């Protein structure tokens, strides 16, 4: 009998109590529709101050393939990724937002592309619901990547993505590196990039964690910092 692939879905969260119950149900529905793979779901709490942690612990109590982890200090998305890289047992890593702006139904496209042999699969949002200024910042970032790295892709900005585990093995991200993860893996570890179109929804509950001022002021500084690290080989195998 052929061994089933094990796929790790990672859900970092911070103060998303209104969204997590709905997301949990949607992920459960997705898993039920997939009989040819095995899944483990890692909910990683980045020191929430609301009732998010209590809710998830209650929801997953009888689920053997759902796991909850509490980070000891605020670590951001990059810290959550680093934690997941060490804890995951899957052949593939998939990340999805906890704010319901990503649609778990689109996990089907990500998984199918990975099973076809893709190294990295980005879920490119076909109709982004962000503010105009955020859309322009994203366009500028994509331009910088194409110009400095000569990598062709529809976009390098996404929150839903899938990666073969071998490309993130022993990888340690520094602060805010998660935003550049596809770029890091393509440039430093030889991964090949592919994209699929995914849905994007308006946030219905809770507050966005994006700070437009910080993204505008520090975003390009972070880009060039990662650029230097890549050129120095800091992310190489």
pLDDT at 201: 78
6 vs 133 pLDDT, higher one: 6
- The structure tokens 């990672």 sit at 10
For 91-139, how does the pLDDT look when each residue is reduced to its tens digit (9 = 90+)?
A: 999 999 999 988 999 999 999 999 999 999 999 877 665 556 666 667 7
Least-confidence region, from 39-48, 54-63, 154-163, 196-205: 154-163
As given in the structure block, the two tokens for residue 154 are: 């529809």
| Sequential DSSP letters for 88-112 | --SSEEEE--SSS-S-GGGHHHHHH
Classify residue 60 by burial, with Cβ atoms within 10 Å: 0-12, 13-18, 19+: middle
How close are the terminal C-alpha atoms of the chain, in Å?
A: 33
101 in Cβ contact with 200 (< 8 Å): yes
Pairing of strands 5-13, 193-198: unpaired
pLDDT at 221: 84
pLDDT at 107: 96
Contacts of 164 (CB under 8 A, 6+ apart): 91, 92, 93, 114, 118, 119, 120, 191
Question: How high does pLDDT run on average in the chain?
Answer: 88
Residue 159 has pLDDT above 70, yes or no: yes
DSSP state of 70: E
Report the distance separating Cα 225 and Cα 204, nearest Å: 34
CATH assignment of 5-231, among 3.40.50.300, 3.90.550.10, 3.40.228.10, 3.30.420.40: 3.90.550.10
- The residue ranges of every structural domain in the chain are 5-231
């Amino acid at each position: 009998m052929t061994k089933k692939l094990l796929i790790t879905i990672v859900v970092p969260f911070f103060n998303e109590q209104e969204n997590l119950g709905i997301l949990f149900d949607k992920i459960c529905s997705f898993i039920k529709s997939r009989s040819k793979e095995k899944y483990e779901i890692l909910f990683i709490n980045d020191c929430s101050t609301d009732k998010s942690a209590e809710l998830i612990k209650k929801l997953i109590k009888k689920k053997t393939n759902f796991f909850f982890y509490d980070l000891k200090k605020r670590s951001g998305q990059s810290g959550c990724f680093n934690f997941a890289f060490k804890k995951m047992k899957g052949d593939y890593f998939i990340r999805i937002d906890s704010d319901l702006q990503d649609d778990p139904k689109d996990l089907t496209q990500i998984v199918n592309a990975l099973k076809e042999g893709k190294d990295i699969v980005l879920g490119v949002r076909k109709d982004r619901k962000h503010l105009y200024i955020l859309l322009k910042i994203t366009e500028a970032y994509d331009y910088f990547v194409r110009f400095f790295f000569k990598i062709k892709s529809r976009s390098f900005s996404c929150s839903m993505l899938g990666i073969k585990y071998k490309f993130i093995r022993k990888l340690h991200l520094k602060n805010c590196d998660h935003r550049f993860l596809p770029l890091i893996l393509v440039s430093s570890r030889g991964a090949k990039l592919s994209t699929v179109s995914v849905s994007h929804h308006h946030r219905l509950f809770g507050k966005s964690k994006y700070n437009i001022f910080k993204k505008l002021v520090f975003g390009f500084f972070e880009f060039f910092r990662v650029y230097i690290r890549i050129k120095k080989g800091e992310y190489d195998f």
